[in-house]
Amino acid sequence: MSKAWVMNDRLWELIEPLLPPWPAKAPGPRPVPDRLCLQGILFVLHTGIGWEDLPQELGFGSGMTCWRRLLRWTEAGVFDQVHQILLARLNAANRIDWTRAAMDGSHVNAKKGGAGTGPSPVNRGKPGSKHHLICDGNSTPIYVLTSGANVPDIGRALDLLDGYPPIAGLRGRPRRRFTALLADKAYSSEAFRQACRDRGTEPIIPKPKTRGIKGLGKLRYVVEQTFALLHQFRRLAVRWERRLHIHDDLVSLVCALICWRRPINWNEQRSC
Is 74 a residue whose pLDDT tops 50?
yes
Residue 264 lies inside a defined structural domain of this protein? no
Residue 173 lies inside a defined structural domain of this protein? yes
CB 180 within 8 A of CB 101: yes
259 by Cβ neighbours in 10 Å (0-12 / 13-18 / 19+) ranks as: buried
Confidence of residue 2 (pLDDT cuts 50, 70, 90): very low
Question: What's the number of domains the chain is made of?
Answer: 1
Assign 102 to helix, strand or coil. strand
Question: How far, in Å, CA of 44 to CA of 47, rounded?
Answer: 5
Confidence of residue 215 (pLDDT cuts 50, 70, 90): low
CB 123 within 8 A of CB 109: yes
Q: Kindly give the pairing relationship between strand 127-136 and strand 141-148.
A: antiparallel
Structural domain including 198 reads: 95-241
- CA-closest candidate to residue 117, choices 103, 108, 230: 108
Residue 53 lies inside a defined structural domain of this protein? no
CATH of residue 109's domain is 3.30.420
CB 44 within 8 A of CB 25: no
Question: How far, in Å, CA of 57 to CA of 7, rounded?
Answer: 17
Say what the pTM is.
0.90
What pLDDT score was predicted for residue 31? 83
What pLDDT score was predicted for residue 32? 87
